[in-house]
Amino acid sequence: LSAFAGLYFASTFSGGVQISEGIKIAATVVTILSMAMLVRSWEDFSAGTLGMCLAVGTLALSGVTVDAASYSGRIEAVDNANRNAYSLYALPCVLLGSYVFLNSRRDSFFIKGLLAVTILATTLCICLNVNRSGWIGLAAILVMLTYERSLKSAIAFGIAGGLIGWVVVTFFGVSHIEERVASTRTGLESDIGRWNLIVNSFFVGVENPLLGVSPEGLTRELARRLGYSGGQINTHNVFAHVIGGSGVVCFLLLFYCGSTMWRWRPSDGAPAAATVGFRKARRLLRYVLILWMVRGFFTHEIIYSPSFNMAIGLCLGLCALRLPPRFVPRRAPTSYRSAADHPSI
């Protein structure tokens, strides 16, 4: 992780040293490692999840309250940000909060009640912002947690979906949502444009494999290749951003970092019963990584997202907490002919 961050920052040198990029990528590493080291019990993990949910839930409630009377297809939960920005902060909170709500038997009804209210408010805000990346992220969470808890999750999500649907129809209307769905089904120009950005970014990375052309330089290079008159154009994809802006080596480091988390396993020979808790925690970590990849297809800013970085750190800490002790098989006692033959004599 540190090697990826260092190489990513070094790739900015070709476009002029960007101190802001260095600060943001360093904050990413510090956030992940700090959150992982703070988890020393399930209560720590639950408290971190609740804090994240309360933060994004408060933003959602304030945005929904202010914009309810004049809803126009957008809830401004984050000031001076586009409607895609909120789901970047909110999706990992919905995933972790729903996981704790459905799986925890230790937390009180009060904590679960707070989680339920904030998750519902956050999900409502994502739905009302009518952006595809948020909807796809919610769908991914639904599939993953239904796979995790099966019938219990299906019932809980059915109730939540019905409640959110009733609120939308009663207080906001569905005209803007219908327009967004219709435009998604009839128009493919934006999708073709995104695909062209991804393909050209990969070509740029292959041509400059060591350090790319810098993240800032990639926006200008894509504009030149695609004939964009604005002078700069964003990749809107984290994988294209890394491989084109920072090179193939940095992209491989990112892939290796993610695969290491995905393939984390206890020591060989550990009893199966001792690894049950770890395997559950690792599944949650994998769910967060899947959600990171899904949301990363729509923005490169996910690298700096504090919510995703905190979620990854919390899951790493939970995995480390539940990692069984290193298993050392017992050796059969050795018989000796006399006391003189014993190695301790």
In angstroms, the CA 226 to CA 274 distance is: 55
**Amino acid code (one letter) for 6:** G
The pLDDT tens digits for 153-207 are 778 888 888 888 888 777 676 666 666 666 555 555 666 778 888 888 899 889 8
Burial class, 26, CB count within 10 angstroms (exposed 0-12 / middle 13-18 / buried 19+): middle
DSSP 196-248: HHHHHHHHHHHHSTTTTT-HHHHHHHHHHHHT-TTS------HHHHHHHHH-H
With contact defined as beta carbons under 8 Å apart, do 32 and 309 qualify? yes
In angstroms, the CA 83 to CA 172 distance is: 16
SS3 105: coil
Q: Model-level pTM?
A: 0.86
pLDDT > 50? residue 239 = yes
pLDDT of residue 180: 60
Residues 6+ apart with CB under 8 A from 137: 87, 91, 126, 291, 294, 295
The pLDDT tens digits for 299-345 are 888 999 999 999 999 999 999 998 877 654 555 555 544 445 444 44
pLDDT of residue 189: 62
Confidence of residue 273 (pLDDT cuts 50, 70, 90): low
